[in-house]
Amino acid sequence: MDLNDDPQQAEFRTQVRSWLNEHKAEAPIVMGEGQIEDEHERIEAWRGWQRKLADAGLCGVTWPEEYGGQGKGPIEQVIVNQELSRAQVPGPLDFIGLGMMGPAIIVHGTDEQKRRYLGPMLHGDEVCCQLFSEPAAGSDLAGVTTRAVEQEDGSFKISGQKVWTTNAQFSAFGVLLARTDADVPKHKGLTMFIVPMDAPGITVRGLRQISGEAEFNEVFLDEVHVPADTVLGQVGGGWSTALTVLMFERLSIGTSSIGYSAERFAAGVLSAPGAAEDPEVRQRLGHVGTEMIASRFAGHRLLSDLAGGKLPGPEFGLGKVTIVKSAIEAGDLLADVLGPDALDTGSEWGYIISFLPGLKSAGGTEEILRNTIGERVLGLPPEPRSDKGVPFSELKAREKEEVA
Amino acid sequence: MDLSLTDEQEFLREAARGALKRVDTVAAAREALEDETKRPDLWKTIVEAGWTGLLTSEDGGGAGLGLYDAMLVAQECGRVLAPVPLVSTLPAATVLDAAGDEASAAVASGELRVAWLPAAPPTDQEPRWTTDPKGGILRATLPTATVDGSTATLSGAVHWVLDAAQAEALLVTAEGPDGPIAVLVDASASGVTVEGLWRYDATRPLGHVTLDGAQGRVVAADELALRRAWHVAQGLLAAEAVGTVDALLPVAIAYAKERHTFGRAIGSYQALKHQLVEVLRLLENAKSLLIYAAWAHENAPDELSLATAAARSGAEHALDVATRVQISVHGGIGATWEHDAPLFFRRAQLQRRLLGGAGGATDRVAGELLGGVVPA
Ligand SMILES: Cc1cc2nc3c(=O)[nH]c(=O)nc-3n(C[C@H](O)[C@H](O)[C@H](O)COP(=O)(O)OP(=O)(O)OC[C@H]3O[C@@H](n4cnc5c(N)ncnc54)[C@H](O)[C@@H]3O)c2cc1C
């Protein structure tokens, strides 16, 4: 049992750590207590931080060198994440682009697309958002109704509505899932596009979350005209591109250190007089702490698997369930011992308390994760479905009838 | 970073599985509920397999293996509810080994069968060393010792001692003149009374030990060794629980695929599917915590208390949930002796109350975190 890095990884870690030691004073405070108040200022400061990280080789760790990446493996990415969290500095502004969209472009993009998008994405010059979810398609993502209609010259006109789009308010591009054919079963008629967010016909409207902040948005598309070379992957092959994105989403959620640790919550409990001696508080803290320590060591197990050449499967989602669940319980405990002040936006705990209930849904809801793991890991039979093999247009007509 | 099993560990695990196959221990667990003489005595098995000396150094006459190795064996025992006295023997062996005691080799080789009397080190809230009470929630005091040269005279009682009535010698942690000391006492010495007990789970023989002026030999172990014995015991109990849960889950899954209601396999219903995934989640967490405990044992002594307490807390929670889910997935039959589920439930219910209890381990996790211990 060896928890240590091999010599090469150790050297990489030392490099990362010493760079962060030297530069961490330059990192902006982007969430929680002491965060930069003005949103625009905050984003620009964060963007500048991403640029520094990128110049130091701490962004796009796994991306090929020819597109500005470091050409390293997932272990090095995890090492960077661990060191960022250890230094208590933010990661890159564009975690969605770097974690999911860029990697999907590397897999499915043309050479021209890779040259065009990856470099600016890496340095924070162009942020990329994920235009997947819609008002009527979240868990059931293949049910998107945003239509992309092919024009005679091969270009497309896209109309519809996206929602919960994180970072859309300052994104340069969005990777968008649209329906190009409604007369085939729903997974078949989909196509993925890379859409410039300043194209005529796009309107972005902020949606306020529990915390009062608007980190995500609704995005309306009205006859947005995009050329043929914005198709990512194959026309009609959008579902396979989407699955790639979701795979990277899993990897990126599982390997990121959310930054909530048992010792941080323990320090919060200690700051409430009498709480540390209360048997019930101690039981709750002990359970939460146990789960958080378990996820830390689950992370070590993941690294060991990655080192052995194993890629993370769906069981990986369990890590997300544990992290989110334990942080929600810890936030609840802190509000109990500290009182209403803990709920304030300005408090150290306000952000966690308000943000985490939504995180339970983001990147696949807990119920969907449990379905997937139950079926793909435990091998339990799926539930019966009524949408298999049915043309999408027919399915929608049926749904309407049912509701009526 | 390499957490995969070495060839030697794979071999140890396979060997343990093989050794435990010779007796149908799960069937025996059921029979012994009605007739305690039906409980197989696996002492010979564990001596032959060399498990009594797993954690004893080579100099002390043992195999000098790590805690994770012992946990691999403990997991195999937990899988089949084997009544193997690991949790009573190994902590005693580590104390004797740490002290370089003359009895170390005999205990490691299994020549001398010893039971360790559980003694919990202080926490941030409980300044004394304590033992489990016979009942109620107040911790009990250690037996006291007066010392004359290498001889100690003991009085007091220790309750719910694993394998007490089967042992030839008892390793007692007692309150000495200057703090806790270890004393090795012959189980048949005058002033020693061991009341053998069977409770709820027939695979765990227990005993109440009363010491009334009993004399024994002082073992030159320092307080650190006594603390480590407690933590090792917590880690081993956690490993047994992990093995038990690991064995339960596939049985539940198989039934959930084969049993049909309303024209569907019951495993397709989310109400059951999500519960089974919860068992998997808790099991995987508990496995991660075993790694932490074993790693701390060899590499981070300051974290051993936190790591083993977290392992115990996580594993016992997994065991509690898994044994209950096992019963509910199986419907009516799961609540009857027609099925094995009640045997596993009994195991969970009893062990969650032994050696400081699952709640005690959770409390210790909180105490260590509040005291500023930062996990690796
Ligand atoms: C903070 C945050 C950030 C997000 N960022 C983005 C983003 O950048 N881009 C983007 O595209 N999307 C984003 N999302 C959207 C997210 O992916 C969706 O919210 C999620 O997939 C759930 O979809 P939904 O909201 O439509 O809920 P629904 O799918 O309608 O689900 C509603 C409820 O029904 C349950 N449910 C649905 N189907 C099943 C089933 N088969 N079995 C059991 N239960 C079921 C769900 O678990 C949930 O509890 C974000 C969400 C959040 C909260």
B297 shares a domain with B208: no
Average pLDDT, chain A: 92
A and B: number of Cβ contacts within 8 A:
179
pLDDT of residue A106: 95
Distance CA B196, CA A216 (A): 65
Tell me if chain A has a CB within 8 Å of the CB of B299.
yes
pLDDT band at A249 (very low <50, low <70, confident <90, very high): confident
Counting residues of chain A whose pLDDT is more than 70, the rounded percentage is 98
Query: Which of B202, B220, B238 is the endpoint of a domain?
Result: B220
Q: Which atom of ligand 1 is nearest to the CA of A131?
A: 11
Distance CA B134, CA B140 (A): 8
- Tens-place pLDDT, residues B184-222: 999 999 999 999 998 899 999 999 999 999 999 999 999
pLDDT of residue A259: 63
Tell me if chain A has a CB within 8 Å of the CB of B346.
no
pLDDT of residue A256: 66
- Tens-place pLDDT, residues A71-89: 998 889 888 988 998 898 9
Q: How would you classify the pairing of strands B169-176 and B179-186? A: antiparallel
Residue B373 domain flag: no
The total number of structural domains that make up chain A:
3
Residue B375 domain flag: no
Residue B107 domain flag: yes
- Tens-place pLDDT, residues B129-149: 999 999 999 999 999 999 999
- Tens-place pLDDT, residues B258-304: 999 999 999 999 999 999 999 999 999 999 999 999 999 999 999 99
ipTM of the complex: 0.96
CATH number at residue A370: 1.20.140.10
Q: Do B277 and A287 touch (CB under 8 A)?
A: no
Q: Do B1 and A303 touch (CB under 8 A)?
A: yes
The model's pTM: 0.95
Query: Is a pLDDT exceeding 80 seen at residue A43?
Result: yes
The total number of structural domains that make up chain B:
3
Instruction: Tell me the C-alpha to C-alpha distance, in Å, between residue A359 and each of A30, A327, B11.
Output: 18, 11, 43
Length of chain B: 376
pLDDT of residue A341: 93
Question: Coil, strand or helix: which one is A97?
Answer: helix
Rounded mean pLDDT, A296-315: 81
Rounded mean pLDDT, A118-136: 97
Instruction: Tell me the C-alpha to C-alpha distance, in Å, between residue A307 and each of A2, A77, A152, A258, A301.
Output: 12, 12, 50, 22, 10
- Contact list, B314 vs chain A (CB under 8 Å): 290-291, 294
Structural domain of residue B84, as residue ranges? 5-112
Q: Do A283 and B270 touch (CB under 8 A)?
A: no
Specify the range with the lowest mean pLDDT, choosing from A350-354, B76-80, B86-90, B217-221. Answer: A350-354
A249 is catalytic: yes
Query: Is a pLDDT exceeding 80 seen at residue B349?
Result: yes
Specify the range with the lowest mean pLDDT, choosing from A212-221, B111-120, B340-349. Answer: A212-221
Query: Is a pLDDT exceeding 70 seen at residue A328?
Result: yes
CATH number at residue B355: 1.20.140.10
Rounded mean pLDDT, B54-68: 96
Tell me if chain A has a CB within 8 Å of the CB of B279.
no
Query: Which of A92, A115, A146 is the endpoint of a domain?
Result: A92
Sign of CA dihedral B22, B26, B27, B31: positive
Q: Name the minimum distance, in Å, from the CA of A62 to any CA of chain B.
A: 19
Pocket of ligand 1 (CB under 6 A): A 96, 129-130, 132-133, 138-139, 164-166, 216, 358-359, 361-362, 365, 367-368, 371; B 270
Q: In chain A, positions 271-300, which contact chain B (CB-CB < 8 Å)? A: 276-277, 279, 281-283, 285-287, 289-291, 293-298, 300
pLDDT of residue A190: 98
CATH number at residue B182: 2.40.110.10
Rounded mean pLDDT, B90-104: 98
Residue B374 domain flag: no
Greatest mean pLDDT among A277-291, A348-362, B2-16: A277-291
The token duo for A202 is 């796009």
- Rounded to 5, what percent of chain B is helix, strand, coil? 55, 20, 30
Q: Do A291 and B289 touch (CB under 8 A)?
A: no
CATH number at residue B103: 1.10.540.10
Distance between Cα B338 and ligand 1 center (Å): 43
Rounded mean pLDDT, B7-25: 95
Residue A323 domain flag: yes
Rounded mean pLDDT, A360-385: 93
Question: What phi and psi, each to the nearest 5 degrees, are found at residue A173?
Answer: -135, 160
For ligand 1, pick from A166, A365, A369 the residue to mutate: most ligand atoms within 8 Å of CB.
A365
pLDDT band at A257 (very low <50, low <70, confident <90, very high): low
Given A249, A263, A291, A329, which residue is catalytic? A249
pLDDT of residue B369: 97
Residue A108 domain flag: no
- Report the DSSP beta bridge partners of residue A149: A157
- Contact list, A367 vs chain B (CB under 8 Å): 270, 274
Distance between Cα B45 and ligand 1 center (Å): 54
Distance between Cα A164 and ligand 1 center (Å): 9
Q: Name the minimum distance, in Å, from the CA of A373 to any CA of chain B.
A: 7
pLDDT band at A217 (very low <50, low <70, confident <90, very high): very high
B214 shares a domain with B237: no
> Rg for chain B (alpha carbons), in Å?
20
pLDDT band at A282 (very low <50, low <70, confident <90, very high): very high
Rounded mean pLDDT, A293-319: 83
